[in-house]
Amino acid sequence: MSQENYAVGLDIGTTKIVAMIGKENEYGKIEILGIGKSKSLGVHRGVVNNITQTIQSIQQAVTAAEADAGKKINEVVVGIAGQHIRSLQHRDYITRENAEEVIDNNDLEKLVNQVFKLVMLPGEEIIHVLPQGYKVDGQAEIREPIGMYGGRLEANFHVVVGQVMSIKNIGRCVKSSGLELGNITLEPLASSNAVLSQEEKEAGVALIDIGGGTTDLAIFKDGIIRHTAVVPFGGNVITEDIKEGCSIIEKQAELLKIKFGSAWPGENKDNEIVSIPGLRGREPKEITLKNLSKIIHARVVEIIEQVFVEIKNYGHEEQKKKLIAGIVLTGGGSQLKHLKQLVEYITGMDTRIGYPNEHLAGNSNEDVASPIYATAVGLLMDALENNKNQAVLQVEEKEVATETETEEDPLPEIDQRPKKSFFDKWSEKLKDFLDNAE
């Protein structure tokens, strides 16, 4: 089986690294062929802080996935998150030389490239430029300007910015693990592809992905991404708080959180107690579940409130921007008991837990449909999409080469090729940069 038929997503998280191999079946659903998972040991809050350890963890996950699928991994699509990601709104326009010609992809590219030239803070680089809506000669609210006539083309953009060094470090880790970097995608975008339905994106929805080191937010309205943010807290700070508050070791704190943790202190009776073995001959510790829940509750409320501030920044309270589908929670942290109720209580918005089974084939392993794998599934979808676009472009290039003379066309030809996402171009630039840096 050639690499063309299958693709690989690599999720480099703060707590775990997942390599996922999959292909598309004849119904357009995704079949998972193999999964490899390893403990992530060189990443802090979504940012690589130990290259050697990260490379080892990546290789471990990749080897496990290869063994599981019985296939070789060459190229991967990687996710990027971390506390250095921020986003801003920007408006830009171009004046076209000839208003009598229809607007095509080249005009849109020209406009986007102009946004890429924005001056950022030192050490920052634009990762994504996402058009929000176009205006042609003052006519507003145009979703797709291709094929229209007009002299002035302007657009609102959602611009995502990140630290150059953090991005390069991820690229370096992937390359040093002996892998090709196929693409880099913003993790909240990947997760949202995996767990949200098109209806939700149209109605307006906020996806909150609670990972180990960071909590990512992506807001959609009218089918377009409107806002992204990364809050530098995740499941790990909850574990830290339990560790400090109960004076126990991290491993015990993590187990306590997963087995008995709840985000709602009212649920536990005062007499519910867990006994934890002491270290090396010391007395066992007794911890009341009520106390445990209080510690978790305090930290979760803080995380949710920070995310809610971002949702308000987007403008959720305006009638036109209302998020009708409410909130979808995903990521490992979304499995905390009673979290859904707490989020609904704090935000007053409908909430559901998002499982990445929207696009998976019916016979997929149940484990894969866990919120823990939302990002990995999203990255795999991205990788498969990339392969498809590459194949289409190659076919087109062949066709162009074989066509010699064509008849005059009465109507201007509209460029219908799959648009090379701005991200593809950006990752190409990054790949060149990494190659030169070798």
Q: Are 116 and 90 a contacting pair, CB within 8 Å?
A: no
**Contact of 153 with 136, CB cutoff 8 Å:** yes
Query: What distance separates the 2 farthest-apart alpha carbons in the chain?
Result: 89
Predicted structure pTM score: 0.87
* Whole-number Å distance between alpha carbons of 33 and 391: 21
Q: What is the pLDDT of residue 283?
A: 87
pLDDT band, residue 430 (cuts 50/70/90): low
Query: Which amino acid, residue 40?
Result: S
Report in angstroms the alpha-carbon separations of 155 from 111, 141, 331: 8, 9, 33
**pLDDT at residue 27, rounded to an integer:** 86
Contacts of 54 (CB under 8 A, 6+ apart): 12, 17, 40, 41, 42, 43, 48, 173
**Average pLDDT across the chain, whole number:** 88
List of E strands, 40-104 = 43-44, 47-48, 75-80, 86-95
Residue 330 confidence (pLDDT) above 70: yes
For 188-247, write each residue's pLDDT tens digit.
Answer: 989 999 999 999 999 999 999 999 999 999 999 999 999 999 999 999 999 999 999 998
Scan for tokens 């909850």, then name that residue: 238
Asked if the model's pLDDT at residue 369 lies above 70, the reply is yes
Which range among 41-45, 203-207, 319-323, 418-422 shows the weakest confidence by mean pLDDT? 418-422
Q: How confident is the model at residue 429 (pLDDT cuts 50, 70, 90)?
A: low
- The pLDDT of residue 420: 53
The confidence band for 82, taking pLDDT boundaries of 50, 70 and 90, is confident
CA distance 173 to 56: 9
Give the pLDDT of residue 431.
66
Q: How far is CA 412 from CA 105, 150, 152, 396, 409, in A?
A: 13, 14, 19, 19, 7
Q: What is the mean pLDDT of residues 177-187?
A: 90
Q: Where are the domains of the chain?
A: 235-299
- State whether CATH 3.30.70.3420 applies to domain 235-299: no
The pLDDT of residue 393? 77
The pLDDT value given to residue 361: 85
User: Is 398 strand, coil or helix?
Assistant: helix
Q: How far apart are CA 3 and CA 280, in angstroms?
A: 51
Q: Which pLDDT value is given to residue 2?
A: 45
Confidence band of 357 (pLDDT split at 50, 70, 90): confident
Rg of the chain in Å (alpha carbons): 24
DSSP SS3 for 414:
coil
In this predicted structure, the answer to whether residue 366 has a pLDDT above a threshold of 60 is yes
Of 395 and 20, the structure prediction assigns the larger pLDDT to 20
Q: Kindly report, residue by residue over 102-128, the tens digit of the pLDDT.
A: 999 999 999 999 999 998 999 999 888
Query: What pLDDT, on a 0 to 100 scale, did the predictor assign at position 417?
Result: 46
